[in-house]
Structure 1
């Protein structure tokens, strides 16, 4: 029988231990406790909530004790949280954001017995793992949808950072589908900068943009809602956002980070995951396209699905295949 106990609430720490059985990795070492650090909140209906769901799936699948801390945004906060987790005997710490790569890289040598994991970055060490989404492809297929459905030949992407591969992918996908389209690309330089994102959105629709791809975390919900209310299309980000924007959401680029974390723990237990940088995407089914809107033709969605299957087999996007 599992028991969940709230042992400690200090500042924004929430400790959720379970009386668990033990799991082992390939070296015979017990992995009993996993912790997660989240930049903002688990209640954002987007990235934070999805990471938390992954932690709960680890809890259920492997009967491990799990711990999490919200609102961790600075090196000092990371240092404090990691030390507290270490004192609790946590053996794996997941940083649920690309920003944790740099934070973990600065302190991983001081905690050689802890395995650090984070997403979407270039830092690695013997006990530091980067799990990267191959998001160039998801941006490309989202771009194809936008290129197909625009009536004004103006589409927009509101991204958080210039380094996001889905930005390039979206641009290339739009033009692959329709070379006459103007692609407006804007950045807010923060995953949760809702106010600036909405400013970019308002400017875009004033210029007759009729499809928006909000490639950021918390603000994607607001953009999808606004697009629905303004009678234009959007493409959801991270989650299936049709429940928010109904059929105005043409599809969503869904990142199953919950499945990715579960997969990482499985690989750790089997001794198959070491320090390094790893990439996952459509082939591993940690990225999928969400449900298609009824406004998309069946012939187009069938064609798109065929291209996705071809990409999964070859690793090449449509414009990369020599005819």
Structure 2
């Protein structure tokens, strides 16, 4: 049975439309696949236009120094900013921005433990001053100390590790935003904790530099090398103070455990020992802080040259730019 011409025409049109829709879907799928692959490949390619067009040059260099309490204070273009503003800028590296926030939380926890230790040490010292110099009171002071010292050590190490990691993250960020203008080695610092004191190491990539290599790199810039030399001297003084403080601590505990512990004579030497030890620890801590700040200052001058802006005494400004999350890229 033959179909009417009208039905044949409708059927032909339907077939044509079906073929057209099929071609359209195939082309759309193919184009989407090509676009998706191209986008991802470009996102992973350092020659992608986002990188080659110097877009990151709109982002500022972030620096930081430690204040009297060894807390990091952050600066953008020499002006003090909040930790949240630093994290917002670091959103160009989403994974590291998250790590920066986590490390800051650990820093706060470590600071709380350190303050708890300091409170306990201060309270025990006040107790020792205001109580009768009896063996029982000295035992109370001693046990308060052996509780506070490990607590303070844990808090200090937690805070220092968090600060050290955030320092490395800021170095990664600064390299990303300034790498087009960096012509020579990009020097980094790292703090190595020893049984007594600490040591500041300087790296060029994965290679730790010795003093001769550092002198060769910096000797053409005398101001930077002078800062580095001052930092080295402060590290030596800090080590001597730490060694003296440790010896005095051991001497104090040994003195309290001698036969004189049963009399009132410990009060004549124990309290001066404790006060002297606290003074040595505080002085050593400040020397280490100044050494770290001087080293950072010298390296920032070396790495960024004219782009480096020293810290200025301005009021902090409000961060108004939205955080930008780009590609989950590791640097």
TM-score by length of 2: 0.24
Q: Which structure has more helix as a fraction of its residues?
A: 2
Larger Rg: 2
Higher RCO (C-alpha under 8 Å, 6+ residues apart): 2
Q: Which structure has more strand as a fraction of its residues?
A: 1
